Amino acid sequence: MPKISTKSWLDNDTFAAWTFLAPAVILLGLFVLWPIAYLFYLSFTAGSFTSTGTYWVGFKNYWRLLLNPDFWQVIGNTVYFTVASVIPSLVIPLGLAVLLNRSMALRGVLRSAYFLPSIISLVAAGLGFRWLFQTSGPVNAFLNIFGIPAISWLGDTFWAMPVLIILSIWKQLGFNMVVFLAGLQAIPPSRYEAAELDGANGWRQFWHITLPGLRPTLIFATVTTAIFTLRSFEQVYVMTGGGPLNTTNLLVYYIYQEAFGQFDFGYAAAAATVLLAMALVLVYLQLRTWEEEV
């Protein structure tokens, strides 16, 4: 029986493929995979990057996380900030996208106007919002017209987080709207025409045609928005510094404080590993849902 020859990885096609992929694979390994591996290793160590060096402590840093009430407060702040930011950041852009998709007039101008916040630096936006919501700022001046006393927005334990959430929603609104517009334009118009012939009103068309047609887009927008909010740092750094009373301290800012404020790099690496795990769970859920769609 003749021996079936197998294709060697050194044949021309495979060698060419690896040749073209090599630069990207090397860069991916150097700037993504190696930092992640080193972060994971660092989370099991203590010490500093001085002459004393680092030493192995096992799961001690993770145990400290579990027993630290400040860490759990930060986790609670992050979950609250993420949920309260993601839901409006999907609902509002979806509504705007549906309206703009139906109206041809000024669509390009309005789309550019709504997308503008997405290209503005978060630091600049944070400084602008801090000026707007300061005690003697325009927001309180507007409220004073109606006899409402000034509110210390960024110094109040209740109002500081909603201000950060408003900034996050405003920053993400334009990007998600453009994504939803692209998804809406991919839905065949014939489906809406058939629904109109069957007597379906606008709400039924939206519920039974628009939402199912946007399901992959919704999954993508939800995951990207959640990851955007999880990595929020600039607005906390510029506007509140984690205060008042740690009520706006988010996980990324907490990691920054522990690493570069307390120089506790092992503990900060453990907290960063938790953040990485949360992001990976979101990506995994997206991939699983995407596979079910396919």
Lowest mean pLDDT among 77-86, 94-103, 285-294: 285-294
Predicted confidence at residue 3, as pLDDT, reads 52
| Model confidence at 187: pLDDT above 80 | yes
Predicted confidence at residue 20, as pLDDT, reads 85
Phi (first) and psi of residue 56, to 5 degrees: -75, 130
| Sequence-distant (≥ 6) Cβ neighbours of residue 80 within 8 angstroms | 161
Distance of alpha carbon 214 from alpha carbon 85, whole angstroms: 20
User: pLDDT (tens digit, 9 = 90+) per residue, 199-253?
Assistant: 777 788 888 888 888 888 888 888 889 888 988 899 999 999 988 889 999 999 9
Longest dimension (CA), the chain: 96
| Model confidence at 12: pLDDT above 80 | no
Phi (first) and psi of residue 28, to 5 degrees: -60, -40
Ordered domains of the chain (ranges, CATH): 69-292 (1.10.3720.10)
Q: How many CA atoms lie within 13 A of 134 on its CB side?
A: 9
| Model confidence at 52: pLDDT above 90 | no
Residue 45: beta bridge partners? 56
| Model confidence at 2: pLDDT above 60 | no
Predicted confidence at residue 130, as pLDDT, reads 93
* Residues 208 and 195: beta-carbon distance below 8 Å: yes
| Model confidence at 104: pLDDT above 70 | no
Residue 31: beta bridge partners? none
Predicted confidence at residue 10, as pLDDT, reads 52
Q: Which of the two residues, 205 and 255, has the higher pLDDT score?
A: 255
Residue 85 tokens, joined: 């930011």
Pick from 33, 64, 32: nearest CA to 266: 64
Phi (first) and psi of residue 74, to 5 degrees: -65, -40
Residue 238 tokens, joined: 């510029």
Element (H, E) at 46: strand 45-47
pLDDT band at 15 (very low <50, low <70, confident <90, very high): confident
